[in-house]
Amino acid sequence: MDFMNSYKLWLEKACEDEDLVKELKSIDGNEKEIYERFYRSLEFGTAGLRGVIGAGTNRMNIYVVRQATQGLANYVLNKYGKGAVAISHDSRIKADLFMNEAAKVLAANGIKVYITSELQPTPVLSYLVRYFKCQAGIMVTASHNPAKYNGYKAYGEDGCQMTDVAADAVYSEIQKLDMFDDVKTMDLNEALDKGQVEYVQDDVYTSYLEEVKKQQVNPGVCKDADLKVVYTPLNGCGNKLVRRVLKEIGVNDVTIVKEQELPDGNFPTCPYPNPEIKEALQKGLDLCEEVKPDLLLATDPDSDRVGIAVKDYDGSYRLITGNEDGVMLTDYILSNRKANGTLPEKPVVVKTIVTSKLMEKLCEKYGAELKNVLTGFKYIGEVILGLEQKGEEDRYTFGFEESYGYLAGTYVRDKDAVVASMLICEMAATFKKQGKTLAQVIDGIYEEYGYYLNKTLSFEFDGAEGMQKMADIMANIRENAPAEIDGKKVVKFADYKLSVEKNLETGEEKVINLPKSNVLQYNLEGEHMVIVRPSGTEPKIKLYLTAVGENKEKASEIIESIAEDTKSILGI
């Protein structure tokens, strides 16, 4: 009954936020509701913290944020002796409050803090860490989660999300702390007066945009292309910088989805503000039918990912998957930089293991080295850091993950929807001048290399019971590995938790030289593939499916059949 003791302690001590006080009183006597809030503490990992906003150790609130920040402060002071930390936030409910609370804790520990005076995209936070030469960074965001969530992403001194070693070290410090008695804090105004906390000035954002614009492949191409764009920031923080960079490169015909233009953490018109989901883009698609643009851009709430729809052959609008957009951008960047002489020798392209296998064909064509990393853009950032440490930073050409996260350039170490929006428009303008739409471009790539279709399925498991159900599903399929899926033989199997890959035809085993991760991969005959993994940031199991066919119809038929059999095997 430890959770009941925790609840009583919070009733006594958690009195600074009226919303928490009301919530705690409202669940008095309801053991199930108390248990959900206190049965565990939110665990600090490579994705930082993420959870439902509310009272308790298993929720996002000022006390959990303060405890995490004190742990981060101890980590910084132990490692560096002193330090500086940059902090920003997106449009999430209580995001500005959590940013200020974190700043107050860091300032009380003698750490210099740079905070933003208004919400900013996640990649800007990565840039601020590097610009101010900070030892760490904090971004208050829950990315694309529903409105009830908030989160806390932690960054290292290179501007990359903390990877396993650093995150474990911070978590170790957090676990030593009593969240009420062991946390230092000070008044924000006092910290500002003393110069311990400082607001970021506008010229810094201008310098960020200058770095973004350096990533243009064909500068000036948009100025006379008459490109027409509909844009929605999905009530997040991309509105100002995305529109500004598009204007500066010559994209002047931009129509905004008014219902989703201004920041609003309630996301009233898209309850799940994820550009992977059609419903989130529906307002934009409706406006496209009226405006008839060349393409629709939709950045997620923290503006690190961007989804698109493009005009199809019949005038309707086709949703482009994250894989398709990434494949087009990779082909565009490699081919055009090669043609204009700006492609480095031995260019490096990076993708996550769940991202399209078609990338192998593209990189082979252009002589690029393809690096595969675990899911999470922090691992792409690690590749950039490794190149930088060898003096080969310029070899990095492009990196992306299938969930609409892209980065060209090394000025930040996280996915960036601002640079991606710019490059997508530049790519569309370039092809428009050639008389081609992006629908024709992706179809042309399929015709050249084969129809590599990808499908991602997510299955949600809420609450304590859900967490156990997810663990049981993963344990069961690990112990009872299928020999075939949808009648197609498994020819190669990889377990990233055990760091082993086995060729089932030859019996050969190889060590996987990546950090351990709870991911299972099944390569099927015919180049089809199934990957199963629990999400690192949401209570979900995700399936990543690949089907290869001689045409789109055949590939679609195969992928649907694989999906149904995989769900049956998992018992979902």
Instruction: Give the catalytic positions in this structure.
Output: 143
Tokens found for residue 286: 């409706």
Rounded CA-CA distance 326/566 in Å is 26
**Which residues, 6 or more positions from 294, have their beta carbon under 8 angstroms from its beta carbon?**
227, 228, 229, 310, 311, 428, 432, 437, 438
Rounded CA-CA distance 187/356 in Å is 49
**H/E run at residue 299:** strand 295-299
Rounded CA-CA distance 494/511 in Å is 9
Q: List the beta bridge partners of residue 48.
A: 45
Got the DSSP string for 354-389? Answer: TS-THHHHHHHHHTPEEEEE-SSHHHHHHHHHHHHH
Tokens found for residue 160: 């990359």
**H/E run at residue 424:** helix 417-433
Closest CA to 100 of 186, 164, 31: 186
Q: Using an 8 Å Cβ cutoff, are 255 and 231 in contact?
A: yes
Give 133's Cβ-side CA count (13 Å radius).
2
Any idea how long the chain is?
572
Rounded CA-CA distance 358/547 in Å is 11
Tokens found for residue 416: 């960036």
Q: Using an 8 Å Cβ cutoff, are 312 and 361 in contact?
A: no
Rounded CA-CA distance 492/162 in Å is 31
Give 447's Cβ-side CA count (13 Å radius).
6
Residue 458's region, left for phi above 0, alpha for psi from -120 to 50, else beta, is beta
Secondary structure of residue 233 in the 3-state scheme? coil
DSSP state of 225: S
**H/E run at residue 555:** helix 552-570
Residue 4's region, left for phi above 0, alpha for psi from -120 to 50, else beta, is alpha
Tokens found for residue 518: 């709870």
Buried/exposed 39-51: b ≥16 CB within 10 Å, e otherwise:
bebbebbbbbbbb
Q: Which amino acid is at 569?
A: I
- Return the residue matching tokens 């024709």: 440
- CA-based radius of gyration for the chain: 24
The dihedral through the CA atoms of 205, 211, 215, 220 has a sign that is positive
